[in-house]
Amino acid sequence: MRCSTIVLTIFMLILPVVASGQLATELTSQVRNRYVTISAPAYVIRNVTVVDGTGGDVKRSQSVVIEEGRITQVGSRVDIPQDAEILDYSGHTLIPGLFGLHDHMFYTAAGGRAAQLNFSGPRLYLGSGVTTIRTTGSREPYAEINLKAEIDGGRLPGPRIHLTAPYITGGQGESRMTLINSPEQARRFVSYWAEEGATWLKAYTNIGRSELEAVVDEAHRLGMKVTGHLCSISFTEAVDIGIDNIEHGLTTNTDYHPNKEPDRCPAGNNIVAGNVDVRGPEVEATFRKMIDAGVAMTSTLPVYELSYPNRPVKDPRALIAMSDDVRQAYLADRERIDNDPNPRLTIDIFKNAMAYEVRFVEMGGLLAAGVDPTGRGGALPGYGDQRGIELLVEAEFSFQQAIQIGSLNGAKVLGVDDELGSIEPGKIADMVLLSGDFNGDPTIIKNTVIVFKDGVGYESRTLLEEVKGRVGIN
Average pLDDT (366-389) is 98
Pairing verdict, β 225-228 and 200-203: parallel
Res 37: pLDDT: 98
Q: What's the mean pLDDT in 280-309? A: 98
Q: Which amino acid does the sequence have at 18? A: V
pLDDT digit string, tens, across residues 183-202: 999 999 999 999 999 999 99
Region 22-31: what's the mean pLDDT? 94
pLDDT (tens digit, 9 = 90+) per residue, 106-122?
999 998 889 999 999 99
The pLDDT mean for the chain works out to: 95
Q: Are 105 and 361 in contact (CB under 8 A)?
A: no
- For 450-456, what is the mean pLDDT? 98
Provide the pLDDT for residue 4: 46
pLDDT of residue 355: 98
- Sketch out the chain's domains with CATH numbers: 24-96+423-462 (2.30.40.10), 98-313+342-414 (3.20.20.140)
pLDDT band, residue 354 (cuts 50/70/90):
very high
- What is the 3-class SS of the chain, one letter each residue? CHHHHHHHHHHHHCCCCCCCCCCHHHCCHHHHHHHEEECCCEEEEEEEEECCCCCCCCEEEEEEEEECCEEEEEECCCCCCCCCEEEECCCEEEEECEEECCCCCEEECHHHCEEECCCHHHHHHHHCCEEEEECCCECCHHHHHHHHHHHHCCCCCCCEEECECECEECCCCCCCCEECCCHHHHHHHHHHHHHCCCCEEEECCCCCHHHHHHHHHHHHHCCCEEEECCCCCCHHHHHHHCCCEEEECHHHCHHHCCCCCCCCCCCCHHHHHCCCCCCCHHHHHHHHHHHHHCCEEEECHHHHHCCCCCCCCCCHHHHHHECHHHHHHHHHHHHHHHCCCCCCCCHHHHHHHHHHHHHHHHCCCCEEECCCCCCCCCCCCCHHHHHHHHHHHHCCCCHHHHHHHHCHHHHHHHCCCCCCCCCCCCCECCEEEEECCCCCCHHHHHCEEEEEECCEEEEHHHHHHCCCCCECCC
The CA distances from residue 188 to 170, 211, 298, in Å, are 15, 11, 27
What pLDDT shows up at residue 172? 86
Is the confidence at residue 342, as pLDDT, over 60? Answer: yes
Dist CA 305 CA 177 (whole Å): 25
Using pLDDT thresholds of 50, 70 and 90, give the confidence band for residue 21.
confident
Give the relative orientation of helices 281-293 and 347-362 as an angle to the nearest 10 degrees.
50
